[in-house]
A = this chain, B = another copy of it.
Amino acid sequence: MSLENIACNKSFGGWHKRYRHRSSTLACDMVFAIYLPPQAELGKPLPVLYWLSGLTCTDENFMQKAGAMRMAAELGLIIVAPDTSPRGMYVPGDPDGAWDFGHGAGFYLNASQAPWNTHYRMHDYVVHELPALIEASFPASDARSISGHSMGGHGALVCALRNPGRYRSISAFAPISQPTACPWGEKAFSRYLGEDRSTWREWDASLLIAQAEERLPLLVDQGDRDNFLEAQLKPEALQAAARAAGYPLSLRLQAGYDHSYFFIASFIDEHLQFHARALG
Which A residues are closer than 8 A to B by beta carbons? 9-13, 16, 64-65, 67, 69-70, 223, 225, 256-258, 260-263, 265-266, 269
Contacts and interface: CB of A to CB of B under 8 A. Distances in A.
Contacts of A257: 10
A180 to B, nearest CB: 30
21 contacts: A9-B260, A9-B262, A10-B223, A10-B257, A10-B258, A10-B262, A10-B266, A11-B262, A11-B265, A12-B265, A12-B266, A13-B266, A16-B262, A64-B64, A64-B65, A64-B261, A67-B70, A69-B262, A69-B266, A70-B265, A70-B269
Which of A9, A223, A260, A269 has the most chain B CB within a 10 Å cutoff? A9
A111 to B, nearest CB: 32
A10 B64 contact: no
Contacts of A64: 64-65, 261
A265 B262 CA distance: 15
Contact of A10 (B65, B70, B256, B261): B256
Contact of A69 (B13, B16, B256, B265): B265
For the complex of A and B, the 4 pairs showing the least CB-CB separation, nearest first, are A67-B67, A11-B262, A10-B256, A9-B262
Contacts of A261: 64
A242 B9 CA distance: 30
Contacts of A262: 9-11, 16, 69
Of A16, A64, A65, most buried by chain B (CB within 10 Å of CB) is A64
A37 B146 CA distance: 31
A258 B7 CA distance: 11
A265 B258 CA distance: 23
A53 to B, nearest CB: 15
User: Which of A12, A13, A223, A266 is most buried by chain B, counting CB atoms within 10 A of its CB?
Assistant: A266
A179 to B, nearest CB: 25
A96 B192 CA distance: 46
Given A13-B266, A64-B64, 17 more contacts: A9-B258, A9-B262, A9-B263, A10-B223, A10-B225, A10-B256, A10-B258, A10-B266, A11-B262, A11-B265, A12-B265, A12-B266, A16-B262, A67-B67, A67-B70, A69-B262, A69-B265
A159 to B, nearest CB: 27
Contacts of A11: 262-263, 265-266
A11 B259 CA distance: 11
